[in-house]
Structure 1
């Protein structure tokens, strides 16, 4: 790609001009799809990752800094991270489905243990607000870590730390509950 065209795209990004996305698509989409496909090894996931990447590229257009990275490097990182998130999300979904289908360990039946009896939302409500926000986004709104990071406008590492701390606090409450269940059974 010519440096003139790249500079033009960078200028359009800085101006938040929609033509930048079209130019990026025309000049980089095939390569970025290849990046996503190499990570996901699945056509549908790679296409989803590419589409999400373009949305992120547009949303983050004003934050691109040519002094920190070349345009392709910036596009590559966004696409790579999005593809990794997609793959992790798909693998977690697959693992949960397999586990539910083949595992009868701890199968208490639907009448024995109901989520509403656990009062999970009530216990989450007792946590600091910053932990509540993360847990609600991830577990009740179905967001990925990356999506929660963007929605809450906090760094990805902060989302993960707050998740870990929030779960640790909930574990303290529910360890006692699980112990009671085991004693009753």
Structure 2
């Protein structure tokens, strides 16, 4: 599914403005990417503190390198996650240099999965999420990227708990349908 050209140019303009020091643009980009970056950090670094650090470092690098973004090479999202990937590698290397307490050592060895499959699945899941209404997408993002329960989501969104429960139900239903249509396997 191709990215919306209007959205691409809008995000490129936001990035350029954030790079020039426009705090409102920086805030919009933060709100757009912080949750997804945190989830990425958790899945790659397996540590909440490192995931939070990843979010901060990526967004700081994004503002400092805004002028390096070339829209002809891809969407802002791809640029953000290219920075995230290199930042995650840096954080992993830094962690590898420091000995971990014995309790933190993994019992098994992580297997390396096919990176191309992961990228394709991630893009398909994002496309499925993009098909949801903003209200439904926000509920799922809060639940799965911030690990919030429905009561906490209701507080964050300032909605009645019943509304959050029904939005979650219908969001999951719509998400499953979108995944099926896009061929995402569970």
Q: TM-score, normalised by structure 1?
A: 0.47
Q: Say which structure, 1 or 2, has more relative contact order (CA 8 Å, 6+ apart).
A: 2
